[in-house]
Amino acid sequence: MSTPLATPDETRDFPIGRQCPYRPSTGYDAFRADGPLSRVRLYDGREVWLVTGYAEARALLADRRVSINPRLDGFPALSAEMAELEGTGYTDVLIGVDPPLHTRQRAMLIPSFSVRRMNALRPAIQDIVDQRIDAMLAAGPPADLVAGFALPVPSMAVCVLLGVPYEDRAAFEGPARGLFDPDPDRAGEAMTALTEYFGQLVRAKETNPGTGLLDDLIAEQVHKGTLSRDELVRYAMLMLIAGQDTTANVISLGTLALLEHPDQFAKLRADPDLATGAVEEIMRYVSLIEAISRVALEDIEISGHHIKAGEGVLIGAAAANFSPALVPTPDAFDVTRSPRHHLGFGFGVHQCIGQNLARIELELAFRALPQRMPNLRLAVPADEIRTSVTGPMERLTTLPVTW
């Protein structure tokens, strides 16, 4: 069955802004009223499909008839800066390639991100969490939770995993965020800086190996000729940025959500064992990634709609996470439930490879904050806190808190 396109007057612009920093816009209700798929207009005037139905979102994320390759005609970039980034080569490993190349690349990394290996990092991550809270308490209120906790915890943890010296953070933290700068020149400078840093690091590790994941890949893949040095540099950049930035944003936005729902913060304070499941609810509720871009390789029939080959598809992870098909009361924030089938880590073959690490970091963060800082609260009115959309993600630049 073929569904006619909406008229220009009916086609809504996308993305839509958030009214509340820590949860997706209620504007998705209008899209849901249209059904599980809608036509939307992007920044460049192109019309693409937006998928807001939970079942349809999961189905398309698992469908090999849609591609993640941003170099294909019709691939929907959410902004001009994302289009620029996708042309730099940053997406040439894992997040921008399809099977069978993706299968080969992912197979090299899967053992390093196993539950067993990530659990072995738990004591080191716990030490990082404790050290950052110790430092905040010693300095006294007020504090910026982003700079003091949300950013350094995952940054230090991913450095431990990769074998990257954290004392080099000035060389990668700024450029990692600079990749998504709306100014293409500054974004290009950030890409150059990161490429040069990791190129130098890889060369140094070849002569003086350590014990991190990069060292393992050099020994097991680069020296055997199954992975080039250029590929390893891109792997390193991707893992550092994804491991640092996304988790930092969930910690900061999740903390803001908890402080704005003091009854939920109190539940975590009273029962720290709720933190494991609460991570899933926080991921669902914050829904950091609004939409996941794909392009159809073949004609696809889904829920009465006909997606043509070459058409762009935006899988609305944020909208799907607020579907009654996932949780019975999606607008409620409830840390006592654990909706593990949310789309915060994606789904299908491209599901986040670092999710086991992220879950540990988030669990330890949201376990420690209510216990160690039981009187934590905002230092400014909530309506003064704003997010910025940088690349595909919502983020807080600062989160002023006191206790």
CA distance 266 to 259: 10
Q: What is the mean pLDDT of each run of 10 residues along the chain (403 residues)?
A: 45 91 92 94 96 98 97 93 72 88 92 92 98 98 98 95 91 81 81 92 94 94 90 90 90 98 98 98 96 98 98 97 96 97 96 96 99 98 82 83 98
| Host domain of residue 96 | 12-402
Q: State the DSSP code for 126.
A: H
Total domains in the chain come to 1
Main-chain phi, psi angles of 287, to 5 degrees: 45, 65
Residue 138 lies in a domain: yes
Structural domain contains residue 176: yes
What does the block give as tokens for 297? 């390789």
Residues 209-235: tens digit of each pLDDT: 998 999 999 999 999 998 889 889 989
- Is 285 a domain residue? yes
Flag whether 77 is in a domain.
Answer: yes
3 part of a folded domain: no
Contact 310, 73 (CB under 8 A): yes
Whether residue 7 is contained in a domain is answered as no
Q: Which two tokens stand for residue 396?
A: 């807080």
364-400 per-position pLDDT tens digit: 999 999 999 999 999 999 989 977 776 667 789 899 9
Residue 1 domain-assigned (yes or no) = no
* C-alpha to C-alpha distance for 374 and 370, rounded to whole angstroms: 5
C-alpha span between 19 and 25 (Å, rounded): 6
In this predicted structure, what is the pLDDT of residue 87?
A: 63
Please report, for residues 71, 269, 371, 377, 378, the alpha-carbon distance to residue 261 in angstroms, rounded to integers and kept in the order given. Answer: 42, 13, 16, 11, 12
- The torsion angles phi and psi of 40, rounded to 5 degrees, stand at -135, 160
Predicted TM-score (pTM) of the model is 0.93
Domain CATH number, residue 159? 1.10.630.10
Residue 49 confidence (pLDDT): 98
Phi and psi (nearest 5°) for 255?
-65, -40
C-alpha dihedral (138, 274, 114, 362), degrees to nearest 10: -40
CA 396 to centroid of chain Cα atoms: 14
Residue 313: name the closest of 30, 53, 29 by CA.
53
Q: Report the alpha-carbon distance of residue 93 to residue 90 in Å, rounded.
A: 7
pLDDT, residue 3, reads 38
CA atoms within 13 A on the CB side of 120: 8
Residues 6+ apart with CB under 8 A from 224: none
pLDDT, residue 138, reads 98
